[in-house]
Chains A and B, each alone.
Chain A
Amino acid sequence: MEFKGFPRRNGVGVRNYVAVACTVGCSGDVVQKIAQLNPNVKPLVHHQGCAQTPPDIIQVEKVLVNLGLNPNVHSILLVSLGCESVSAQKVADRISREKTVELVTVQEKGMSAAVSRGLELVKKMVAEAEKDRRESFDVSELKLAIKCGASDTTSGIVSNPVTGDVADRLIGLGGTVIFGETTELIGAEHIIARRAFNEDVARRLYSAVKDIERRAMSMGVDMRGGQPTGGNIKGGITTIEEKSLGAICKTGSSQLTDVVDYGERIQKKGLIFMDMPGRELEALTGFAAGGAQVILFTTGICAPQGFPIVPVVKVSGNPEVCRRLSEHIDYGLSAVLYGRQNIGKAAKGLLEKVIRVASGELTKAEIAGYENNFDIYVRGPVI
């Protein structure tokens, strides 16, 4: 099986974006102004990069570098304020090893000069990107991230099981599947750990779950205790294992190859777990920094937003939502719910949809332009 993508020095892009990213929240406005004046660029506006503890600054730098290195990005303009804790120059140097990167600094000549210099630079980048053409690549080049959000009863019995089958199929074809949402593993971590490639991978998985539980506990919150919730029980869920498995089943049944930290670039093939929160704003960023070219997102009642540089395919098994919110749902699985299609056949169709999106077909979030909001996950206090 093949898709049509853009060859990069490391991997294959499914989009050919010129990105403009702020290195700190304080220069976000300048990024937005450049993007307003040149709609051919993708703005990457987050709120981190300064007045944070050193481990978080290192994490923000790593994520910025890895977002720039995502194969969907052709080239990138970084907009720095100048005095932020993140080293914009270091971020630029690391991206420059693989692709064109430019840097403007607001504190040098002010906002107006930064906008006009930025516009000159992105004009050249867009002209260069225009020359690129899609070529055929084997689907083993794909890194597909999977995530669920705004879930309902249909997620656990239709869209997540179908997505699990898609994950197994893609891994069977030599591709890579990334999942995260550490809090979703609580209560079923032992089940995923049994699928770990070796003891070290299992140990790192347990450690990620323990860490997030410990941090919630330090705020006085027991994340395990109240599960499943009253609403879950009403929806048909009886135990915490069942609830977690309802989400985890979207990972299929493949061996867990590796456990990586948030925003780390994925190097291995197969099924990969990335430590991250479940919130979309930060979760999708982690996947994008990991190198995912496409995100497959299952939803019950409809989580509409995409991600600036990675197409997000929204899937729902809720027939009423698929009708009422067709503006946001890319692939409906009502046929499975109605018993007209089995999970395997639905998975085959969904994988084909993913490959079409990888080859250039626009997602609903891309068509609507509902994809500009995101943030970078940080663990420590804001200073």
Chain B
Amino acid sequence: MRRRAIVLNERDNVANALSDFKRGESVSLKVGNRIMKVDLRSDIPFGHKFAAKDIPRDNEVIKYGEAIGKASQEINVGEHSTSITSSALGGEVTSTKVDA
């Protein structure tokens, strides 16, 4: 099995882990026709997101080509992206702790 991650839309600034990753691992991402390498700064469980680009605080986090909320703090490339404020609810989900 090739360990990798997927960027669902060319406009996205986050990628999704298709297997469990450890901090320090490198992942190659295909964005459009471009292949880029990202060094992971956190453990990323299967199905979770990490930043494919630096996302400054209050900037939109883009997945599926759409804003899924705003970064409640700066998310650097390769970091687990969970600090996102929903624009639909006004609440913030900051839970970065994952039991899995």
Specify whether A and B are partners.
yes
Q: What is the minimal beta-carbon distance from B80 to any residue of chain A, in angstroms?
A: 10
Q: Which of B72-98 contact A (CB under 8 A)?
A: 81-82, 84-89, 93, 95, 98
Closest to B65 in A: A253
A contacts with B: majority SS: helix
A242 to chain B: which residues have CB within 8 Å? 63-64, 68-69, 84
Q: Which residues of A contact B (CB under 8 A)?
A: 153-154, 156-158, 161, 187-188, 190-191, 224, 227-228, 233-236, 238-242, 245-246, 248-249, 253, 336-340, 342-343
Q: Are A245 and B63 in contact (CB under 8 A)?
A: yes
Q: Which of A236, A239, A340 lies at the interface centre, i.e. has the most chain B CB atoms within 10 A of its CB? A: A239
Please, how many angstroms separate the alpha-carbon atoms of A158 and B47 in the complex? 10
Q: Are B63 and A234 in contact (CB under 8 A)?
A: no
A245 to chain B: which residues have CB within 8 Å? 63-64, 66, 68
Q: State whether the Cβ of B16 lies closer than 8 Å to any Cβ in chain A.
A: yes
B53 to chain A: which residues have CB within 8 Å? none
Partner of B8, one of A161, A227, A337: A161
Q: Knowing A337-B18, A338-B1, say if A241 contacts B87 (CB, 8 Å).
A: yes
Please, how many angstroms separate the alpha-carbon atoms of A190 and B85 in the complex? 16
**Could you list some 22 contacts between A and B, CB below 8 A?**
A153-B47, A157-B47, A158-B6, A161-B64, A227-B89, A233-B95, A234-B98, A234-B99, A236-B48, A238-B49, A238-B68, A239-B84, A239-B85, A239-B86, A240-B88, A241-B66, A242-B69, A248-B64, A338-B2, A339-B3, A339-B4, A342-B30
Q: Which residues of B contact A (CB under 8 A)?
A: 1-4, 6, 8, 16-18, 30, 45-49, 63-69, 81-82, 84-89, 93, 95, 98-100
Q: What is the minimal beta-carbon distance from B87 to any residue of chain A, in angstroms?
A: 7
Closest to A246 in B: B64
Please, how many angstroms separate the alpha-carbon atoms of A216 and B4 in the complex? 41
Partner of A239, one of B6, B69, B98, B99: B69
Q: Are A188 and B30 in contact (CB under 8 A)?
A: no
Please, how many angstroms separate the alpha-carbon atoms of A69 and B19 in the complex? 46
B81 to chain A: which residues have CB within 8 Å? 238
Q: Are A157 and B6 in contact (CB under 8 A)?
A: yes
Q: Are A187 and B8 in contact (CB under 8 A)?
A: no
B contacts with A: majority SS: loop
Please, how many angstroms separate the alpha-carbon atoms of A126 and B63 in the complex? 51
Q: What is the minimal beta-carbon distance from A150 to any residue of chain B, in angstroms?
A: 16
Q: Are A157 and B8 in contact (CB under 8 A)?
A: yes
Partner of B18, one of A190, A224, A227, A339: A339
Q: What is the minimal beta-carbon distance from A87 to any residue of chain B, in angstroms?
A: 43
Q: Are B2 and A340 in contact (CB under 8 A)?
A: yes
Partner of A224, one of B69, B82, B89, B95: B89
Q: What is the minimal beta-carbon distance from A190 to any residue of chain B, in angstroms?
A: 8
Closest to B49 in A: A236
Closest to B85 in A: A239
Q: Knowing A188-B88, A241-B87, A342-B30, say if A233 contacts B64 (CB, 8 Å).
A: no
> Which 9 residue pairs of A and B lie closest in terms of their CB atoms, listed nearest first?
A153-B47, A236-B47, A236-B48, A239-B86, A242-B68, A339-B4, A239-B69, A187-B88, A245-B64
Q: Are B89 and A240 in contact (CB under 8 A)?
A: yes
Please, how many angstroms separate the alpha-carbon atoms of A338 and B49 in the complex? 17
B69 to chain A: which residues have CB within 8 Å? 238-239, 241-242
Q: Knowing A157-B16, A245-B63, say if A236 contacts B45 (CB, 8 Å).
A: yes
Q: Are A239 and B89 in contact (CB under 8 A)?
A: yes
Please, how many angstroms separate the alpha-carbon atoms of A241 and B89 in the complex? 9
Q: Are B48 and A249 in contact (CB under 8 A)?
A: no
Q: Are A241 and B16 in contact (CB under 8 A)?
A: no
Please, how many angstroms separate the alpha-carbon atoms of A228 and B88 in the complex? 12
Q: What is the minimal beta-carbon distance from B43 to any residue of chain A, in angstroms?
A: 13
Please, how many angstroms separate the alpha-carbon atoms of A72 and B44 in the complex? 47
A233 to chain B: which residues have CB within 8 Å? 93, 95
Q: What is the minimal beta-carbon distance from A323 to any residue of chain B, in angstroms?
A: 14
A249 to chain B: which residues have CB within 8 Å? 8, 64
